[in-house]
Structure formats: C-alpha cells, structure tokens
Amino acid sequence: MKSKWTRNAQAGDVFTKTRTRNAQASDVFTKTRTRNAQASDVFIKTRTRNAQAGDVFIKTRTRNAQASDVFTKTRTRNAQAGDVFTKTRTRNAQAGDVFTKTRTRNAQASDVFTKTRTRNAQAGDVFTKTRTRNAQAGDVFTKTRTRNAQASDVFTKTRTRNAQASDVFTKTRTRNAQAGDVFTKTRTRNAQAGDVFTKTRTRNAQASDVFTKTRTRNAQAGDVFTKTRTRNAQAGDVFTKTRTRNAQASDVFTKTRTRNAQASDVFTKTRTRNAQAGDVFTKTRTRNAQAGDVFTKTRTRNAQASDVFTKTRTRNAQASDVFTKTRTRNAQAGDVFTKTRTRNAQAGDVFTKTRTRNAQASDVFTKTRTRNAQASDVFTKTRTRNAQAGDVFTKTRTRNAQAGDVFTKTRTRNAQAGDVFTKTRTRNAQASDVFTKTRTRNAQAGDVFIKTRTRNAQAGDVFTKTRTRNAQAGDVFIKTRTRNAQANDVFTKTRTRNAQAGDVFIIFYASFDVVLQHNNVFCNHYC
C-alpha cells in the first residue's frame, strides 16, 4: 500500500492512494484527488480486480477545469465479452452540459447501450439514447429528444427488433419548428407481409394542422388503414379515413370530411366489405355548396341480389329541396322502395313514394303528393299486393285543380271475384260537387253497391243509391233523391227482394210533405 497526502502545496492539495491485494490477479486500487490545482480539482479513481478477465473500473472527476466540470466513469467486467460501461458528465462546458453513457454487454452480439444528454448546448438540449441487443438481427433502439433547438423541440425514437424482418419503430415529435409542431410515428412488424404503421401529426404548420395515420397489416392481402386530418388548411379542414382489410375481397372503408372548403363542407363515406358480392356503402354530405346542401347515402349489401339503398337529400338547391330514398332488397324478386320529396321546386312540392315487395306478384305501393303545383295539389296513392289476384288500391286527391277538388279512391281485393271499391268525390267542379261511390263484393253473384251524390248541379242536387246483393235472385235496391230539380224535389225508392217471387216495392213522391206523410203510412204498415 502506498499513500500520499499533500495539503496546499502552492494550493495544489494532492491526495494519492494506491492499493494492491493480489498482484498475480492484478487487483489494483488507485485513487488520486487534487483540490484547486489552478482551479482544476481533479479526482481520479482506478480499480482493477482481474486483469486477465479485464475487470477494470476507472472513474475521473474534474470540477472546474476552466468551467468544464467533467465526470467520466468506465467499467469493464469481461473484456473478452466486451462488457464495457462508460459514463461521462460535463456541466457547463461553455454551456454545453453533456451527459454520455455507454454500456456494452456482449460485443460479439453488439449489445450496446448509449445515452447522451446535453442541457442548453446553445439552447439545443439534446437527449439521445441508443440500444442494440443483437446486431446480426439488427435489434436497434434509438431515442433522441431536443428541447428548444432554435425553438424546434424534436423528439425522435427508432426501434428495430429484427432488421431481416424489417421490424422498425420510428417516432418523431417536433414542437413549434417554426410553428410546424410535427409528430411522426412509424412501425413495421413484418416488411415481407408489409405490416406498416405510420402516424403523422402537425399542428399549425402555416395553419394547416395535418394528422395522417397509415396502418398496413398484410400488404399481400391489402389491409391498409389511412387517416388524414387537416384543420384550417386555408379554411379547408379535411378529414380523410381509408381502411382496407382484404384488397382481394375489396373491403374498403373511405371517409372524407371537409368543413368550409370554400363553404362546401363535404362529408364522404364509402365502405365496401365484399366487392365480389358488391357490398358498397357510400355516404356524401355537403352543406351550403353554393346553397346546394346535398346528402347522398348509398348502401348495397349483395349486388348479385341487387340489395341497393340510396338516399339523397338536398336543401335549397336553388329552392328545390329534394329528398330521394331508394331501397332494393332483392332485385330478382323486384323488392324496390323509392321515396322522393321536393319542397317548393318552383312551388311544385312533390312527394313520391314507391314500394314493391315482390315484382313477380306485383306488390306495388306508389304514393305521390304535390302541394300547389300551379294550384293543383295532387295526392295519388296506389297499392297492389297481389297483381295475379288483382288486389289493387288506388287513391287520388286533388285540391283546387282550377276549382275541381277531386277525390278518387279505388280498391280491388280479388279481381277474379270482381271485388272492386271505387269512390270519387268532387267539390265545386264548376259548382257540381259530385260524390260517387261504387262497391262490388262478388261480381259473379252480382253484389254491386253504387252511390252517387251531387249537390247543386245547376240546382239539381241529385242523390242516387243502388245496391244489389244477389243478381241471380234479383235482390235489387235502388234509391234516388233529387232536391229542387227545378222545384220538383223527387224521391224515388225501389226495392226488390226476390224477383222470381215478384217481391217488388216501388215508392215515388214529388213533394217532400207527401213523402213524409206516405213514409209514415209505409212504416206503420210494413215496419
């Protein structure tokens, strides 16, 4: 053992210590300390336990060597395996302040760990970390962080696990790089399969604010995920999202949203699950595209079966306001649903609705409504459930079609049996006011119901009612009433229950008072 201690040798103040335990094993301990040797203040410590194995420990510290203040530490445990640990710290080396740390466990396998940190290196402040575990496999981990490097503030992180398989992870973050503020993240797991994940975010890069995200799991299968968002890129504000799971099957998901791109505000969404089957979903929305405001939605589940859903809505497209909806579930069966609505299309205001469930059976539902189409106001409704059986329902309503005001209703349940229901009503068709009702339940049996009413047809005011239950038996009921047909006021009633038996009842009166009188006599005698 050897020790040397000197205090204030011309302000050198030196402390030296050396210790050796086993010279054959080279177990050496050396320690040197100097305080204020021309303001250097050096501390050196060296320890070696087994020189054959290369186990060396070296530590050096300098506090104010021209304001550098360096701390260095190196340790090697197994030089043959390359296990080296080195640590260096410098405080305020011309405001550099560097911290470096390197560790290597197995140099043959290149397991290297390096860490560097710099505080305020001309306001750079850099943090770098690199780790490599298996250089043959290319497993590298690198991390870099910079705070306020001319106001850039960059964060970069890279990780590679298997370079042969290209498993790369890259992450970059920049805050206020001339107001760019960029965030980038990339991850690739299997480059042969094309599994790539990319993410980019930029805040206020000249007021663009872009967010981009891309993910690909199996490039051979075409599984791509892309997402883009831009806020206020010259008032564009675009959001785009694309997802593809199986490009061979064309499973595509695309979404685009734009707010106030020259006042268009477009939203587009497209989804396709199986292009071979034609499963397409498309949605488009536009607000105030030169006052168009269009909403379009299309959905197709099985193009071979033609299952199509289409929806279109337009508000104030030059004051048209169109709503269109189409749905088809099975085109081979003809199942079609169509709906159209237009508000104030040059005062047309048309509503059209069509539904067909089974075109082979002709199950058709049609509805049309028009308000104030040049003051016509037409309402039309048609329903057919089984055209082979002739089940037809038709309804028409017109208000003030040049003061016609027509109401028509037709219903047929079994055309083979002749079951027809027809109703017509007209209010003030040039002061005629006609009401007509016809019902036939069994045309083979002749069961017919006819009713006609006319108010003030040039002061005619005719009421006619005819009912026949069994034409083969001659069961006929006929009733006619006329009020003030040129002041005659005629009431005629004829009823026949069994024409074969000659059971006939006929009553005719030309005066309303006589009608009341003889009606009482008839009721007292027969009722």
| Domain parsing of the chain, residue ranges | 1-52
Q: Which amino acid is at 60?
A: T
DSSP letters of 402-422? SS--EEEEEEEEETTTTEEEE
In this structure, the number of other CB atoms found within 10 A of the CB of residue 476 comes to 19
Q: What is the pLDDT of residue 262?
A: 44
Q: How is residue 247 written in tokens?
A: 């490009």
- Using CA atoms, how far apart are residues 408 and 438, in angstroms rounded to an integer? 11
Phi/psi for 220 (5° steps) reads -65, -35
* CB of 424 closer than 8 Å to CB of 435: yes
Q: 286-316: per-residue pLDDT in tens?
A: 554 444 455 555 555 544 445 555 555 555 4
- Look at the block and give the residue holding tokens 């940190």: 117
pLDDT for residue 289: 42
Q: In whole angstroms, what is the distance from residue 173 CA to residue 158 CA? A: 12
DSSP string, 126-146: EEEEEEES-TTTT-EEEEEEE
CB atoms under 10 Å from CB of 272, counted, come to 19
Q: Provide the 3-class DSSP secondary structure of residue 525.
A: helix
Query: How high is the pLDDT of residue 236?
Result: 47
> Which two three-digit tokens encode residue 101?
């740390």
How far does the chain reach from its first CA to its final CA, in angstroms? 148
Signed CA dihedral, 238, 243, 248, 250: sign only:
negative
CA 328 to chain centroid, in Å, comes to 22
- What is the predicted pLDDT for the residue at 305? 45
CA-to-CA distance for 114 and 100, rounded, in angstroms?
A: 7
Residue-by-residue pLDDT tens, the chain, 527 positions: 555 555 554 545 556 666 655 555 556 666 666 554 444 555 666 655 555 555 556 666 555 444 455 566 666 665 455 555 666 665 554 445 555 665 555 545 455 566 665 555 444 455 566 555 554 555 556 665 555 444 455 555 655 555 454 555 556 555 544 444 555 565 555 545 455 555 655 554 444 455 555 555 554 545 555 555 555 444 445 555 555 554 444 555 555 555 544 444 555 555 555 445 445 555 655 554 444 455 555 555 544 445 555 555 555 444 445 555 555 555 454 455 556 555 544 444 555 555 555 445 455 555 555 554 444 555 556 555 544 545 555 565 555 444 455 555 655 555 454 555 566 555 544 445 555 565 555 555 555 566 655 555 454 555 666 555 554 555 666 666 665 545 456 666 766 655 565 666 666 665 444 333 333 333 333 33
pLDDT score of 521:
32
Q: What value does the CA radius of gyration of the chain take, rounded to a whole number of Å?
A: 48
At 44 the pLDDT is 62
Q: CB count, 10 Å around CB of 379?
A: 17
Q: How many CB atoms lie within 10 A of CB 56?
A: 19
pLDDT of residue 166: 53
Place of tokens 């989804």: 271
